[in-house]
Amino acid sequence: MNIALYVVAGILLVFSFYKDQKKTKMALKKAWKAFENILPEFLVVILLVGLLLAIMNPEMISSIIGDKSGWFGVILAAVIGSITLIPGFVAFPMTALLLDGGAGYMQIGAFISTLMMVGIVTMPVEIKYFGKKLTIYRNLLAFLFSFVVALVIGVVMSR
């Protein structure tokens, strides 16, 4: 996944350099500036992720949504998904385990949905680009949407 990204960026960079060295230097300068601009917010997010994941480890998450059922469990799952930030390749094996451990499809659907679409800890970065209002609305709508996902997943998977 990362390799593909590097290959594409690398090929384009070489091509760009071949076409126009000056423009390529400008592009790299822009890339650096854009990165440096957001770096403080990135670092805050990374610290928060560390802190939250240390508290909300997989055992803790499974103890909360593992054996609960019904909409209360779905709401809890959605809230936990919103405040945690776990990369997909860690999250999916984990949710597969949660399912084996007795969690329902609805809870898992809500958890995965908010995990990906709602980002409480990444809000400092999002606000920097989109402002407070849009950030709050986007996350709120995505949070509500996760209940639709939970419902549909629950209906489809129970058949």
Contacts with another protein in 132-151 (CB under 8 A)?
133-134, 137-138, 141-142, 145, 148-149
Report the alpha-carbon distance of residue 133 to residue 28 in Å, rounded.
32
Q: Taking a C-beta distance cutoff of 8 angstroms, is the pair 94, 133 a contact?
A: no
Q: Does 16 bind another protein (CB under 8 A)?
A: yes
CB-wise, 61 or 153, nearer to another protein? 153
Contacting another protein (CB under 8 A), which of 61, 74, 85, 106?
Answer: 85
Q: Taking a C-beta distance cutoff of 8 angstroms, is the pair 110, 149 a contact?
A: yes
Listed ranges 60-68, 72-80, 117-125: which one lies at the site for another protein (CB under 8 A): 117-125
Buried-exposed string 107-128: b where 16+ CB fall within 10 A, e elsewhere: bbbbbbbbbebbbbbbbbbbee
CB of 75 to another protein, least distance (A): 18
SS3 state at 87: coil
CB-wise, 50 or 70, nearer to another protein? 50
Residues 27-46 that bind another protein (CB under 8 A): 27-35, 37-38, 40, 42-46
Q: Does 75 bind another protein (CB under 8 A)?
A: no
Kind plus residue range of the DSSP H or E element containing 93: helix 88-100
Contacting another protein (CB under 8 A), which of 18, 21, 54, 78?
Answer: 54
Report the alpha-carbon distance of residue 126 to residue 140 in Å, rounded.
13
Count of residues that interact with another protein, criterion CB under 8 A: 78
